[in-house]
Structure 1
Amino acid sequence: MKQDIPIIIKKNIPNLGEPGTITKARLGYVLNYLLPKGIVDIATPGKIKHINMLKQIQLNQLKDLENQAYKTKNHLEQIPKISIKKKVGDQKHIFGSVSEKDIINYIFNSTGEKLDKKQITIPIIKEVGIYTIDIKIIDNIHVKLKLQILPDNINI
C-alpha cells in the first residue's frame, strides 16, 4: 500500500522543490529519511496557514520595495543631466577620475535620494564630454542619466 502525505520543504532538495513549498511524498521516504534529517515538516493545517501568511508578508514587502523604487526612478528622471567640473589638461583630458561618490553627492543634493555606489555603472571617462550612466534601483528598474564633464574654469 503506497501512501502520499503532505509535507512542507525546509531545505532545497532536487526533485522535491524549494524551501517553503507544500508538496506530497511517500510515507516511508518521509518517515525514514526526510523527517530525521530535518529536511521537511509534516504539513498540518496550522503550518500551512503559517506558510501562507509568511508568503503574503513577503509579497507585500516586495510590492512596497517596488513602489519605493518607482518613486526613486521618478525623482531621478527629473534630473536633466548631471554636470561635474574636473581639472583639465591638454587636449581636454581630465585629471583624476569621476567616481560614483561624485554622482551620489550630486543626486543627493538635487533630489534628496540616497543611492549606493554599487547601483551606479559609469563608463571609462578620460576627457571632457557627455556620457551615459546607468543607475540600477532594483533588479528590473533602471534609469539612464546624462553625465556632463566640464572643465573646471567654466561656470555651469
Structure 2
Amino acid sequence: MSKLILTHEVTGLGEPGDVIDVKNGYARNYLIPQGFAVSWTRGGEKQIEQIKAARTAREHATIEEALDLKARLEATKVRLEVKAGREGRLFGSVKAADVAGAASAAGIGELDKRKIEIPNAIKTVGDHEATIRLRDDITATITLQVVAAK
C-alpha cells in the first residue's frame, strides 16, 4: 500500500489535502502520473495545509451564494450544440468541460469542471442531467439540452 496526499479531488477517494492509502499500482500508474496525488512524506504536513487553504478559497464563500447558484442552475436548461449523425448519435460524448463552457455561455456563471459529474455518458441528442457539487453539503442537478450542430 502507498500513502499519498491528494492534490486534486478524486471521486470515491477524497478531497485535495486528504491523506489516503491505495494500492501501489494505482498510485504508480494513475494517481501520481496524472497529477492527482503526490507521495506522502514527513514534510508533507506543510503541503497539506497549503492544499486545504487553496481548496477553501476555491469553494463558494457562503452557503447563501451556493444556494443562489443552485437555484439558477436548476431553473435553467443549458443548451449544448455538438456534432451528431443522422440518427442523433454524437461523434464522441459530452464531457464535463463542455458542460462548464455551456453554463458560462448561458450566463449562469463559472463552474469548476472537476465538480461536474455526468452519471451516464451522453452520446445522443436530447435532454440529459448532470450533477454539480457546489460545496461538500450542496449539490445541484442541471438539465442539459443536447442538440445537433448545424
User: Aligned partners of 2:138, 2:70: CA distance in 1, in Å?
Assistant: 8
Query: Aligned partner of 2:69: which letter?
Result: T
- For 1:70, the equivalent position in structure 2 comes to 67
- Residue 147 (structure 1) aligned to one of 131, 134, 144: 144
- For 1:59, the equivalent position in structure 2 comes to none
Query: Aligned partner of 1:69: which letter?
Result: A
Query: Aligned partner of 2:88: which letter?
Result: K
User: Aligned partners of 1:93, 1:74: CA distance in 2, in Å?
Assistant: 31
In the alignment, does 2:96 pair up with 1:83?
Answer: no
Structure 1 segments of 4+ aligned residues over 2 angstroms from their partners = 62-65, 109-112
Once the two structures are TM-superposed, the CA of residue 91 in structure 1 deviates from its matched residue by 2.5
Count of matched residue pairs: 91
RMSD: 2.3
User: Aligned partners of 2:60, 2:149: CA distance in 1, in Å?
Assistant: 44
Once the two structures are TM-superposed, the CA of residue 67 in structure 1 deviates from its matched residue by 2.2
User: Aligned partners of 2:145, 2:60: CA distance in 1, in Å?
Assistant: 34
TM-score (norm 1): 0.51
In the alignment, does 2:107 pair up with 1:111?
Answer: yes
In the alignment, does 2:93 pair up with 1:97?
Answer: yes
> Per-residue displacement from partner, 1:15-71 (whole Å, max 9, x unpaired)?
xxxxxxxxxxxxxxxxxxxxxxxxxxxxxxxxxxxxxxxxxxxxxxx9953222112
Query: Aligned partner of 1:96: which letter?
Result: G
Structure 1 residue runs of 5 or longer lacking an equivalent are 1-61
Once the two structures are TM-superposed, the CA of residue 85 in structure 1 deviates from its matched residue by 1.5
Q: Equivalent pairs: percent with the same residue?
A: 29
The structure whose residues are more often helix, as a share, is: 1
User: Aligned partners of 2:60, 2:112: CA distance in 1, in Å?
Assistant: 21
Larger C-alpha radius of gyration, 1 or 2?
1
TM-score (norm 2): 0.53
Q: Given that residues 78 and 106 in structure 2 are in contact (C-alpha distance below 8 angstroms), is that contact kept between their aligned partners in structure 1?
A: no
